[in-house]
Amino acid sequence: MAWTWRFEKADGTEVSPAVEPEEFSTQGDAESWIGEVWKELLEGGAEQVFLFEDGSEIYGPMSLHAEGA
């Protein structure tokens, strides 16, 4: 199983991430990574993300903007 992220602008346009992700072996690893680098991703132009497991969408879009900002 491989867990991967898709990075988008708010309008749904796919963007290249400012921090290159790996393929993660667990959902927890993928979510921990996004929790560590979300600010860098946001500064690099990504505004929302989707999580996939082996190509199947698990959830998204999830905003990278801090709540209340």
User: pLDDT of the chain along its 69 residues, tens only?
Assistant: 899 999 999 999 999 999 999 889 999 999 999 999 999 999 999 999 999 999 999 999 999 998 755
Question: Do 19 and 44 contact (CB within 8 A), yes or no?
Answer: yes
Read off the DSSP letter of residue 10: T
The pLDDT, as a whole number, for residue 23 is 87
The pLDDT, as a whole number, for residue 1 is 82
The Cα 16–Cα 32 span in angstroms is: 19
The Cα 52–Cα 66 span in angstroms is: 22
Whether residue 61 has a cis bond before it, omega within 30° of 0: yes
The Cα 1–Cα 66 span in angstroms is: 30
The pLDDT, as a whole number, for residue 68 is 56
**Domain range annotation of the chain:** 3-63
